[in-house]
Amino acid sequence: MRGCVALFTLTILSGCTGVQSALDPAGREAGTIARLFWWMTIGSMIVWLGVIVLLIYSVRTRAESFTRRKARIMIVGGGVVVPVVVLTVLLLYGLAPIPAMLAPAPPGSLKIAVSGEQWWWRVHYLPPGQAPIPSANEIRLPVGEPVEFHLESPDVIHSFWIPPLGGKMDMIPGRKTRLVLTPSRTGVFRGACAEYCGASHALMAFSVVVQQREEFAAWLSHQSQPAESPQELLAIQGAHLFLANGCSACHTIRGTAAAGVVGPDLTHVGSRLSLAAGILPNDPNAFERWIGQTHDLKPEVLMPAFHMLPPEDTRALAAYLEGLK
Ligand SMILES: [Cu+2]
């Protein structure tokens, strides 16, 4: 029995930490939300305890022992005054942080456009005074700085959510929504789609890497560069096969003839932490599986499976893509 209780408690508590927990905040906005959550929880516990005490009291006392006056005080006090006061305080406390959360980031802040796609994340960094820098399925942020996300969707409603950094925001077709997040510590976190959007809704995640400012700046400047040409024979073959098999109709690899925009930009795909919106590790084996078994891995994905390719071609493609650091 004691083992069961311990296991149960551990299971519940394990939800409180980790890369995707709103109760383990790593950002200013998430901190506000976690505080609100705890105060609401404490508030509702106090109300619940009060109700239980009254319940026990009422069961144990005889009705005749109440005067009319005493009964009225109980009903008006406990039924009207206390709930109005407690709920008003909790409501005001809950509404108070909203204006600051909806305010735009200060001028000069980094802006990142993110679009929820079927089923991946199209990302463009918009550094002030520079051309947009495309990426996908991974978001990097400098620590301690507010970043303004511009969110949209071309198809259905998705919801952009990085629990350790802040609240969620819907991505609505035909509309631009905005979300400001201010990470407060470095680390790797996980974001996900929080609005059911179709068959592979649960297979649409992304990594979030919060870095020191200089590290982030170096990374972003590298991302803005075109891809380096492959050096090894297998990877060179892969580069040819990428164009010959029509991968380039849907994918861009900057610095090559591949300029498709249907799927993710693959210019630096080898440098990402995961593949295909957080469902596979980033290694050559995962690239091969993705190219050959696309639809088994992600139902209704908009990329055709290339299982008809000879294994050596798939291996060459994987070597090329994995090398795009
Ligand atoms: Cu979605």
pLDDT in tens, 197-208: 999 999 999 999
Q: How many domains does the chain have?
A: 2
Residue 154 has pLDDT above 90, yes or no: yes
pLDDT of res. 58? 84
Q: Are residues 278 and 210 in the same domain?
A: no
Count how many Cα atoms sit within 13 Å of the Cα of residue 288 in the half-sphere of its side chain.
11
Mapped onto helix, strand or coil, the DSSP state of residue 248 is helix
Mapped onto helix, strand or coil, the DSSP state of residue 19 is coil
Residue 8 has pLDDT above 80, yes or no: no
Q: Find the 171 Cα to ligand 1 centroid distance in Å.
A: 9
What residues pair up with 208 in beta bridges, in sequence order? 139, 189
Residue 99 has pLDDT above 70, yes or no: yes
Residue 312 has pLDDT above 70, yes or no: yes
Percent of the chain with pLDDT over 70: 95
Q: Find the 106 Cα to ligand 1 centroid distance in Å.
A: 29
Q: Are residues 212 and 242 in the same domain?
A: no
Residue 147 has pLDDT above 80, yes or no: yes
Q: Are residues 202 and 248 in the same domain?
A: no
Q: DSSP letter string over 170-207?
A: EE-BT--EEEEE-B-S-EEEEEEE-S--STTGGG-EEE
Of the ranges 42-51, 195-204, 289-298, which one carries the lowest mean pLDDT score? 42-51
What residues pair up with 195 in beta bridges, in sequence order? none
- pLDDT for 211-243, tens place per residue? 999 999 999 999 999 999 999 999 999 999 999
> How many residues make up the chain in this entry?
325
* pTM of the complete model: 0.90
Domain final position from 224, 252, 283: 224
Q: Find the 178 Cα to ligand 1 centroid distance in Å.
A: 17
**What value does the mean pLDDT take over residues 247-276?**
97
Rounded distance between C-alpha atoms, residue 196 and residue 159, angstroms: 8
Q: Find the 185 Cα to ligand 1 centroid distance in Å.
A: 27
Q: Find the 50 Cα to ligand 1 centroid distance in Å.
A: 42
Give Cβ neighbours of residue 103 (< 8 Å, ≥ 6 apart).
Answer: 180
Q: Find the 191 Cα to ligand 1 centroid distance in Å.
A: 11
Q: Find the 290 Cα to ligand 1 centroid distance in Å.
A: 20
Q: Find the 153 Cα to ligand 1 centroid distance in Å.
A: 9
Q: Are residues 59 and 165 in the same domain?
A: yes
* Residue 129 banded pLDDT, cuts 50, 70, 90: confident
Q: Are residues 185 and 312 in the same domain?
A: no
**What value does the mean pLDDT take over residues 49-70?**
87
- pLDDT for 241-257, tens place per residue? 999 999 999 999 999 99
What residues pair up with 150 in beta bridges, in sequence order? 113, 178
CB 86 within 8 A of CB 39: no
Domain final position from 224, 257, 285: 224
Residue 100 has pLDDT above 70, yes or no: yes
Q: Find the 159 Cα to ligand 1 centroid distance in Å.
A: 6
Q: DSSP letter string over 36-88?
A: HHHHHHHHHHHHHHHHHHHHHHHHHS-GGG--HHHHHHHHHIIIIIHHHHHHH
**What value does the mean pLDDT take over residues 143-148?**
97
100 by Cβ neighbours in 10 Å (0-12 / 13-18 / 19+) ranks as exposed
Percent of the chain with pLDDT over 90: 81
Residue in this structure with the two tokens 């947009």, named with its chain if needed: 132
Q: Find the 119 Cα to ligand 1 centroid distance in Å.
A: 6
Residue 5 has pLDDT above 70, yes or no: no
Closest CA to 167 of 46, 16, 293, 35: 35
Residue 271 has pLDDT above 60, yes or no: yes
Closest CA to 151 of 160, 161, 164, 142: 160
Domain assignment present for residue 184? The answer is yes
Q: Find the 275 Cα to ligand 1 centroid distance in Å.
A: 16
Domain, as residue range, for 130: 16-224
pLDDT of res. 12? 57
pLDDT of res. 64? 81
pLDDT of res. 36? 93
Q: Are residues 165 and 116 in the same domain?
A: yes
Q: Are residues 87 and 203 in the same domain?
A: yes
Q: Find the 199 Cα to ligand 1 centroid distance in Å.
A: 10
Q: Are residues 307 and 220 in the same domain?
A: no
Domain assignment present for residue 8? The answer is no
pLDDT of res. 1? 58
The per-residue pLDDT of the chain, averaged, comes to: 93
Q: Find the 314 Cα to ligand 1 centroid distance in Å.
A: 29
Residue 15 has pLDDT above 80, yes or no: no
CB 277 within 8 A of CB 137: yes
Q: Find the 287 Cα to ligand 1 centroid distance in Å.
A: 23
Q: How many CB atoms lie within 10 A of CB 8?
A: 10
Residue 7 has pLDDT above 90, yes or no: no
Q: Find the 154 Cα to ligand 1 centroid distance in Å.
A: 11
Residue 10 has pLDDT above 70, yes or no: no
Q: Are residues 114 and 185 in the same domain?
A: yes
The domain that holds 32 is classified in CATH as 2.60.40.420
Q: Find the 203 Cα to ligand 1 centroid distance in Å.
A: 9
Q: Find the 182 Cα to ligand 1 centroid distance in Å.
A: 23
Q: Find the 188 Cα to ligand 1 centroid distance in Å.
A: 21
Domain assignment present for residue 9? The answer is no
Q: Find the 60 Cα to ligand 1 centroid distance in Å.
A: 54
Q: Are residues 258 and 308 in the same domain?
A: yes
Q: Are residues 76 and 127 in the same domain?
A: yes
Q: Are residues 99 and 183 in the same domain?
A: yes
